[in-house]
Structure formats: structure tokens, C-alpha cells
Structure 1
């Protein structure tokens, strides 16, 4: 059996691989470089970065992260506008591909090909970056098998990355300042409180998520209490368990709302909970933008860094889901009964 038989459908048809990128990323990339890894199971992960003035440094970083997961090979795709709107010329693409090749070679990973495409849409045009003379047309992204799988999994595909970022964008600076005052007035949290206090806070979060799902209003007082509770590691650990239980859809909506309204630093905790929930159900794009926002708010957040590294290296959602078992152990200690592990809403 040829070493690359598992990859042939993608390697032999660049237009098909390029058309699959929106489903892998969750949005249609523009002015981007995308590095796709492959192993014996087929496609691995897809990493994207803007085409920018420091593209060479970014390309090397992407290659280091990609190599750390031990793939067999990778394909590099540059998405740049047609004609005069192109940010770079082909020599620039080739030099960036050389940077990626050098890093991957050092780790025993093959950069199989580099492609330049003007747009990822039905009829978009691609050509090889190394001057081999190969070129072609992009397949219809909407007809990609990966796009169909994403829809069946309940994932939304976005036309642009900006639409995805808006899901976690802060929405009301005045409200955030008011919430900061309320949180300061509440003045509780931390891990030195009685277990009963932590239990009541977890129960309050569960009730707030259920109320939000029923269309009820979660008051600023409720939001401030939850923010305070997130500073207690016992509460925070237990909440990760909720992300994989029967009511995970309810708590995900709550994390999303909290991420948009809470001020820093409490906002970062809501973002990481949202990222964890999205990751465990296979929504890597939402997890990615949530983690990016969380690390902007708190670059030293340990859980955010752990999840970001796992996502960048293509760790499977089922492995990440296992982290929630710590939450179940903590729930038992503080006396909270949670939905059984692994039962998610459909």
C-alpha cells in the first residue's frame, strides 16, 4: 500500500481540498495562509493566519505547532485576492512556503504542496506556488462532504471570520462598567468559603442557564453573582462538567451571554467555559475565537493556554471531554448532583 493512499483524494485534487477549508475553519478565509495537516486517518487540523507584514514569523510558528502533533504531511494554501488586489506576489508565497518547509523538515514532516487561490468559491482559481505549472478550479465549497457533515453536526458555517468573532464580542461597555461595580460590591468568591456556598453557586448557575433557555431575563445581579462564583476554583471546575452533560446547550448559551457582557477579568472565565463547551461538541472555530479573546483578556490563563494548544495541534474533542471528569469529582465533594457524564443534548 502506498504511504500516501489515505491522502490521495485530497492530494490529487487541490480544488477539492481548498473547497473543504471553510468547513474545517468554520468560515471562508480571505487574505489568509492556511496550513492543513494529514495523518493516516486522513485530514488533521487546519490553522489559519492573516497575510501580514510579519507573515514569515507567523508561518514558522504555524509550522512548529503543526509539527508538534506528529502529522505525516501538510499542505499550505495562500488565499489572496485576484489581480491588482493581491497583497503579495508569487515570489513572496514561495519564500513563505520555504520557511514552512524548513520548520517541518526539521520535524520529519513533509510539506507536500503549496497552492495560491484567488477566492474560495465555486470557480475560484488556484495554482501551485513552486512554479510547477499545475493550476485548476476550486470546487463548490457548499457541496464539500465536510460542509455537509458540519451541517449534520449542527455547526453553522460563516461567510467571514468577522461574523464568528461577533459571537463573543463585548456588546455594552456601560453595562460592563455597571457590572464591575456590582461584582466589587458583592465581594465574595475564592476557594476559602464553605462547601455549601460553592454548592449554592453551582445550583444558581444551573438555574440561570435554565431560565435563559426558557426566554427569561438573567438580571445583572445574577450575572454579578456568577462572576464572583467563577473566582472559586471549586465552582469553576464543577462548571466544566456541565459542559458535557444533558444541559450543555443551556450552559453554552449562558457562557456566550456572559462573555459578551462581563468586564475583564471575569470575561475571560466565561470565554474559556464557552470554548470548552464548543470544543467538546466539535465546534473548533467557535472554540478558537473564544480562546483568542480569552487570551487577549488574560494571556496567562492556564486553561485557555491548554485548550488553545490542544486545538492548534488537532487534539480530538473526545479527549478534551475527559477533562470534565475533574468537575464531576469536585461536584461530589461539594454535594452537587450533575447530569451523567457524556449525555449531551441533540
Structure 2
């Protein structure tokens, strides 16, 4: 199992929302808000840190999962939690004694892997569905069982919505945020990019600093149009994408993720990711991943990075963010990378939106 085979969500302050980690029905109901989507056919590992909810990882159930737990557990262990809880979501398996035996073996293997890091597996629950009235029971046959609380009424869900997080019905809905679906328009954007290159927009065409300044301004102008509810033209998308080919431009743009216009900037990167052809879309995907990482959206960060590194496995910032994500580095640590963007903006003479408070979500 590689790191890209599972979704990673950072520590969520559920304690402040009146969340009770000791109630399985409440813990399961909180999963859609924690992960950003409703999990199906999944193994979910919840780390426990000082009695509170820590990082949460999710992986698809599959026949080879038991033999590939090492990567999942190593990421779980990177935050050095005091314990872990396993939740298996399986509609068929919850009603099938033979399937339950397989799930029990899976949890035994998981417990053995965790034990290698000195992390006890406190409990393992099997649930048929993550929804109000879903049925759960302990995997090891301890006799504990119950109903799942209503996810929409979960205090964790309420806290997530108030915090500006978008929740998706399924993981596929999350993947659609970056999916290239309008092939004809992507082709038009590709033609516009080709025209820009043919028109003499090469690294030595004019003063590099002036070119970088204009490219950053083009990005800010595009964000302004998005904030006004306007649709970017193919030519405007091509201009922004072409500007991101400059290392100073993209390093400057990372600062937008911590600024007061972060939500519109993230919309811009998602739009470019859906419309740009490869390899141009890589930079938009990494910008989107950085923005999502900064606001603590691990699943979207992972989806964007997976798509970017599939096209360019050697991408500098993409590789750095991927390593940080898999090691459990906290969003507030990643935010510090944006300071370089503000420094570069000063050098170029560009005025970026002011930084917003660290606790505020981009949306």
C-alpha cells in the first residue's frame, strides 16, 4: 500500500464541540465531517491523543488490505498517538458471519502492526453504513452494539459547517473537484496556451521581473473576477496557467492560501485543475493542494497531490507537500511556507491580500 492509497485528515478539535470519543455511535456519526465525505467500504483508523480525537486515516477495503497495512500504520504512528480505534464500514460484511471473521483477522493484523510502534488498538467497530440508524457492533464479539447517531446532528458536523468546511456525499464527489470533464474546452485552452508560446512569451522575451510581476497581477485579476461571480475565458485561464510556469510566480502565489482572498484563490486553482491539459494542470493542482493543506483539508490535499504527482513525480513543491502530509505535519507548520510568497511579492512590487487569522478557514 502506498501513501496515496488512503485519505488522511488532520487532528480535528472535536473536544471543543462536545464530542464524546467513548461513544461509538457518536464517533461513527462524526466521520463524514472529519473526512469531508461519507465513507463506504472502508477501514478507518482513528488515533487518540491525550484522550482526544487525533489524525484520522481511511483506506478502501480490499482483498490485499491485510498484507498492506504497514504504510497506513506508519503514518498513523508518525504523530505518536497514545492509542487507536478501528472502524470498518461494510454493508454486506456487517450481516455476514464469514465476512466478520475476515474483518476480525484484519483488525488482528492491524493491532499487531500498531503494537510494533507501541500503540494499543483500543477498540474495533464494524458498521453497516455511516448514517442515522446505521448498526454497529464490536468486531471481536465482545457484545457491544448500537445505532449510529445522525451525522447531520453531530456536534462535529455543526462545528465543521460553522468553520466553513464543505462536506461531500461520497469520495467520488470530492474527486470531481479536480476531474477534467469538459474535454472540448480543455482543448481550446490548450490551443490558447500554444498561441501564447508561439507569440514570443519565452523566458528571454522581456525583463524576467516585469514578466513575473504581470503574471502575478493576472492571477489576482482572475481572482477578482471569480469574486464577482464572473466566468473566466479560455484566454484568461491560459494566461494564468502560462504565468505559473515561472518559479517565482508560483512561489509567490502560495501566499494567497493564507490571505484574506484565500477562498477565491482556491476556486481559481480548482477551476484551472479541471480545465487545463497536462502538464499545465500540475501547477494548479499543487496550488490547490497547498491551499487545502493550509486549511486542514487532508482528503482534498491528498486527491490533488495524487493527480499532480501522477503527471510529474519529480515536482519540487508537490513532493514536499506529499512528504509532509504522509509524516503528519500539521497545517499550521505548512502555513509558514507562505511567508516566502510574501517576501517574493515585496521583491516584485506586488501587493498581496493581507494574511488572515490562522484559525479561519478558506472555505
| TM-score scaled by length of structure 2 | 0.85
Distance 1:101 1:324, change over 3 A: same
Which of these residues, 221, 246, 254, is aligned with residue 260 of structure 2?
246
Alignment of 1:263 onto 2:277: yes
Deviates more, 1:106-115 or 1:82-91: 82-91
8 A Cα contact 1:76 1:114, kept in partner: yes
| Corresponding residue of 2:7 | none
How far did residue 304 of structure 1 move?
2.6
How far did residue 210 of structure 1 move?
0.5
| Corresponding residue of 1:115 | 125
| Alpha-carbon distance in 2 for matches of 1:261, 1:230 | 15
| Corresponding residue of 1:279 | 293
Alignment of 1:19 onto 2:26: no
| Alpha-carbon distance in 2 for matches of 1:342, 1:235 | 21
Which of these residues, 63, 76, 86, is aligned with residue 76 of structure 1?
86
Q: Deviations over 1:292-312 (max 9, x none)?
A: 322333333332333334344
| Alpha-carbon distance in 2 for matches of 1:130, 1:295 | 39
8 A Cα contact 1:189 1:228, kept in partner: no
How far did residue 85 of structure 1 move?
8.0
| Alpha-carbon distance in 2 for matches of 1:289, 1:88 | 33
| Corresponding residue of 1:177 | 187
Kindly tell me the number of residue pairs found equivalent between the two proteins: 339
Deviates more, 1:194-203 or 1:174-183: 174-183
8 A Cα contact 1:60 1:99, kept in partner: no
| Corresponding residue of 2:10 | none
Which of these residues, 138, 149, 153, is aligned with residue 143 of structure 1?
153
Look up the SS of the partner of 2:111 in the other structure.
Answer: helix
Alignment of 1:93 onto 2:103: yes
How far did residue 84 of structure 1 move?
8.8
Alignment of 1:316 onto 2:326: no
Q: Deviations over 1:60-119 (max 9, x none)?
A: 321111111211111111100146986971221122222222222121222211111111
Which of these residues, 317, 324, 328, is aligned with residue 303 of structure 1?
317
8 A Cα contact 1:189 1:230, kept in partner: no
The CA RMSD over aligned residues, in Å, is: 2.5
Deviates more, 1:126-135 or 1:259-268: 126-135
Higher relative contact order (CA 8 A, sep 6+): 2
| Corresponding residue of 2:176 | 166
8 A Cα contact 1:191 1:233, kept in partner: no
Look up the SS of the partner of 1:74 in the other structure.
Answer: strand
How far did residue 208 of structure 1 move?
1.1
How far did residue 202 of structure 1 move?
0.3
Alignment of 1:208 onto 2:218: no
8 A Cα contact 2:94 2:100, kept in partner: no
8 A Cα contact 1:190 1:233, kept in partner: no
| Alpha-carbon distance in 2 for matches of 1:199, 1:190 | 14
Deviates more, 1:309-318 or 1:225-234: 309-318
Distance 1:231 1:318, change over 3 A: same
Alignment of 1:153 onto 2:163: yes
For structure 1, the 5+ residue unaligned runs are 1-5
Distance 1:315 1:88, change over 3 A: farther
How far did residue 29 of structure 1 move?
0.4
| Alpha-carbon distance in 1 for matches of 2:169, 2:309 | 25
| Alpha-carbon distance in 1 for matches of 2:348, 2:222 | 19
| TM-score scaled by length of structure 1 | 0.89
| Corresponding residue of 2:50 | 40
8 A Cα contact 1:189 1:229, kept in partner: no
| Alpha-carbon distance in 1 for matches of 2:202, 2:149 | 53
